[in-house]
Amino acid sequence: MKAVDITDEIMCKSPSGNKIYWLITTEIGAPNFEMRYIEIPPGGKTSDGSHPHEHEVFIIKGNGVIKGEDTEEKLFPGRAIFVKGNERHQWINSSDKEPLALICVIPKGAEDQYKPRREK
C-alpha cells in the first residue's frame, strides 16, 4: 500500500499551461494505470486532439465542457467522463473565477512525455 499527498508531488505544466500532478504512477508500483490531478485555470483549456489511450475522468471542482468531434458534455463536480482511445476531445474551463479540477486515470506509460522525472 502507498499513500500519496498532492503537496508532496511534483507539478508540471502541459503545453497549454494546465497544472498536472502525477499522483499514482508506475514509479511507486502501479502496474496498470496512472492517476493525475489536473487543474485548468479560469478560462483555460486543453489542446484539441486525440490519443491512442482511453481516459477515465472525475470532476472535483469547477465547471466547464468537454467538446468531442460531434458532441459536447457539461462538466461539474461529481461528474465522471469516459473518453475512448482515439476519440477527439478538448477540456474547457467555462469559469473566469475558479479552476476546473479533475482526476484523470490513464493506462501506464500513456503520457510519459508530460511526466516529471524524479531524482533517484
Residue with cell 485548468: 40
pLDDT of residue 118: 55
* pLDDT digits (tens), the chain, 120 positions: 999 898 877 788 887 889 999 999 888 899 999 999 999 999 999 989 899 999 999 999 999 999 999 999 999 999 999 999 999 999 999 999 999 999 999 999 887 666 776 544
Selection from 98, 101, 83, 85 nearest residue 38 by Cα: 101
The pLDDT score that the predictor gives to residue 64 is 98
Predicted local distance difference test score (pLDDT) of residue 109 = 84
Given this model, what pLDDT does residue 117 score?
60
DSSP reduced 3-state for 113: helix
- How far is the C-alpha of 42 from the C-alpha of 64, rounded, in Å? 10
CB 46 within 8 A of CB 37: no
From residue 59, alpha-carbon distances to 1, 32, 52, 103 in Å are 25, 22, 22, 6
Domains recognised in the chain with CATH numbers: 8-103 (2.60.120.10)
pLDDT of residue 120: 41
pTM score, whole prediction? 0.90
